[in-house]
Structure 1
Amino acid sequence: MKKSRIFPFGLFIFLISSFSCQAQSTNSVEKDAYSYKTPSRDGTGKFYMGREISQVMGFQGKAWLERPNREEEEGISIALKNLPINEESVVADIGAGSGYYSFRIAPLVPEGKVYAVEIQDEAIAYLNDKIESLKITNVETVKGTEKSPNLPESSVDLVIMVDVYHELAYPAEILQNIYKALKPNGKILLLEYRGEDPTINIKPLHKMTESQVKRELKANGFKFVSNGKFLPIQHFLIFEKPD
């Protein structure tokens, strides 16, 4: 006669309890990703890993992005020369704004593509008009959201954010979605004004330290590659999606 196999009731209760605790822990992590305090000047009052997220510069700041002395101040040509790309690379310029970088990267990837990602309708309309007027065939606008750049999975070789990351309302979610969009060994490049240098005349919340950037990207699965020291006032921070 076969003996029936009785599942121990105590073990059943233990497993249910354990699963419940794990679910609560996961929800707790999600809730604890951000904290909130009284906003400081130019801040949102929302904090990620100890850093207050700055207010966003709206598209009304387009003239500042296109200022004539930007090359001299930021060394744009040096930054472009050091991009980790080839002629076939697919690049996503997140927070593209007026397309200052997007339209300068496009000739460097003649067999590839540039996704100019924006969440502001004004910026998307401006970029589309410029694409049409310049007859550029390898720049495509993408309407993103606060939590996602809305890029196809495993499609991008390089994501670049130029003085944008510190303004992201949901940096963890954006980084997780960038991770999905990058190909294996794909890279993410952050250009951020150096927060370690008080002589750089930029509002404090619109600058970042190398250590803080490393901390946040490591927490979202990225491996640090290098920080180019060749720009006058910005970090040139490259991270990689591990294969």
Structure 2
Amino acid sequence: MKKRISQLLGLFLLLTTSSLAAQENRYTLKDGDRSGIGKWYMDREIAQVMGYQGMSWLERDERETEENTTTLLENMNISKTDDIADIGAGSGYHVFRMATRATQGTIYAVDIQEEMLTAMRNKKSDGKFANVTLVKGSEKSINLKPNSVDKVLIVDVYHEMSFPYEMMASIKKAMRPNGKLYLIEYRAEDPNVPIKKLHKMTETQAVKELKAVGLILKENKDNLPWQHCMVFVKE
């Protein structure tokens, strides 16, 4: 009996060690762009996170013109009963616009910065957005229940995720079987898009990275001025 227990314990330790080794090998640490964190995933350097100090840029008056945010929400075809997660919600620019459309659903506003959550909490203080739920995420998880959302929105945030594989696995788990992920990233294919290199992505790179967690590109809606609007679904 003791021998059997010892064998099982040895197997458990072997599997655990192998899993940790796989995670470590997933990322590479090396020098890179000054806008990056020196960490690479699938040949892409991860960008520095935009801190809460840049909140005013998220709320800038020119954003509708530069990004055509109204068209973005129309692309999502939001229904009244949709449950939607906005990952890296920031100050809630998209959150509260979606809340007026999914009036019978829930908008989960997920962010890892307490200052961003506080800004959204202040916007909710008048009681008009009872269908908005604030969620404190982590670097590896969005902290939502499995099969809890119909749609996921990630706007100009994916390229800053420190652990993209783990985060996308967490997002996939939260998506319902027919759920859709709307990945919005500035087009790296277009040199005229006035954004730093590490804060842009190509469609090819995005497809490669999301396929690693079992998400495939259904379509790329090419109707935003500067950004991809890539729609991913579960394999």
2:3 corresponds in structure 1 to none
2:4 corresponds in structure 1 to none
Equivalent-residue separation in structure 2 for 1:21 and 1:122 (angstroms): 41
- Structure 1 letter corresponding to 2:234: K
Equivalent-residue separation in structure 1 for 2:12 and 2:49 (angstroms): 40
CA contact 1:52–1:205 (8 Å) conserved in 2: yes
Equivalent-residue separation in structure 2 for 1:193 and 1:103 (angstroms): 22
CA contact 1:188–1:240 (8 Å) conserved in 2: yes
1:62 corresponds in structure 2 to 55
Structure 1 gap segments, 5+ residues each: 1-16
1:172 corresponds in structure 2 to 165
1:5 corresponds in structure 2 to none
- Structure 2 letter corresponding to 1:215: K
- Equivalent residues in 2 for 1:1-243 (5 A)? 25-133=18-126, 135-242=128-235
- Structure 2 letter corresponding to 1:140: T
Tell me by how many angstroms 1:185 deviates.
1.6
With structure 1 as the length reference, what TM-score do the two structures score? 0.89
Tell me by how many angstroms 1:39 deviates.
3.4
Tell me by how many angstroms 1:41 deviates.
1.5
When Rg is computed on C-alpha atoms for both structures, the one with the higher figure is 1
- Structure 2 letter corresponding to 1:123: M
Q: What secondary structure, in the 3-state scheme, does the structure 1 residue paired with 2:126 have?
A: helix
> Is the alpha carbon distance of 1:117 and 1:23 closer, same or farther for their aligned partners in structure 2, counting shifts above 3 Å?
closer
Equivalent-residue separation in structure 2 for 1:128 and 1:73 (angstroms): 27
CA contact 1:154–1:184 (8 Å) conserved in 2: yes
Pairs aligned (count): 228
Tell me by how many angstroms 1:21 deviates.
7.6
Equivalent-residue separation in structure 1 for 2:215 and 2:96 (angstroms): 27
- Structure 1 letter corresponding to 2:26: A
Equivalent-residue separation in structure 1 for 2:167 and 2:42 (angstroms): 15
> Is the alpha carbon distance of 1:143 and 1:23 closer, same or farther for their aligned partners in structure 2, counting shifts above 3 Å?
closer
After superposition, the CA RMSD in angstroms is 2.0
Equivalent-residue separation in structure 2 for 1:18 and 1:119 (angstroms): 36
- Structure 1 letter corresponding to 2:193: I
Equivalent-residue separation in structure 2 for 1:207 and 1:223 (angstroms): 20
Structure 2 gap segments, 5+ residues each: 1-9
Equivalent-residue separation in structure 2 for 1:134 and 1:21 (angstroms): 52
Equivalent-residue separation in structure 1 for 2:24 and 2:198 (angstroms): 23
Equivalent-residue separation in structure 1 for 2:46 and 2:187 (angstroms): 16
Give % identity.
Answer: 48
- Structure 2 letter corresponding to 1:53: I
- Structure 1 letter corresponding to 2:83: V
- Structure 1 letter corresponding to 2:137: G
